[in-house]
Amino acid sequence: MCCRRVFRLSHRKEGMESARQTKRVRVYVSGRVQGVFFRDSTRERAERLGVSGWVRNLPDGRVEAVFEGEAGAVDELVRWCHEGPPHARVEGVEVEEEPASGGARGFEVR
């Protein structure tokens, strides 16, 4: 009985550690995503989720962003990018995983 209880605790601990794993992605969002507060809304959402990184407009009309933080929070922010703020019309989202730097702090609109 003792061993069974220890196993359950260590199993839960491993699950918690994997949820806290740091993840970094580069995201490209296309559609009507400039001039609709996409960057400011992304910063606000990232700060609420505790995700670091930056977001900027590209000359071709897309928005580019880098997100780094706990894997679950980064995934949630990427899911949000598929919708964006109310006036955005997202047509596509490309996501590229990158090695986490571990040094990212805060979130910047460029």
The model's pTM = 0.81
Under the banding of pLDDT at 50, 70 and 90, the label for residue 52 is very high
- The domain segmentation of the chain, as residue ranges, is 21-109
Q: Which of 4, 12, 45, 57 is catalytic?
A: 57
In this structure, are residues 43 and 109 in contact, taking their beta carbons and an 8 Å threshold?
yes
Based on the residue annotation, tell me whether 110 is a catalytic residue of this protein: no
Summarize pLDDT for 53-86 with one digit per residue, the tens: 999 999 999 999 999 999 999 999 999 999 999 9
Catalytic, 57? Answer: yes
In DSSP notation, 61-107 reads S-EEEEEEEEHHHHHHHHHHHTT-STT-EEEEEEEEEE---S---SE
Instruction: Write the CATH number of the domain with boundaries 21-109.
Output: 3.30.70.100
Q: Which of 39, 43, 45, 62 is catalytic?
A: 39
**In sequence order, which residues have a C-beta less than 8 Å from that of residue 99 and are 6 or more positions away?**
24
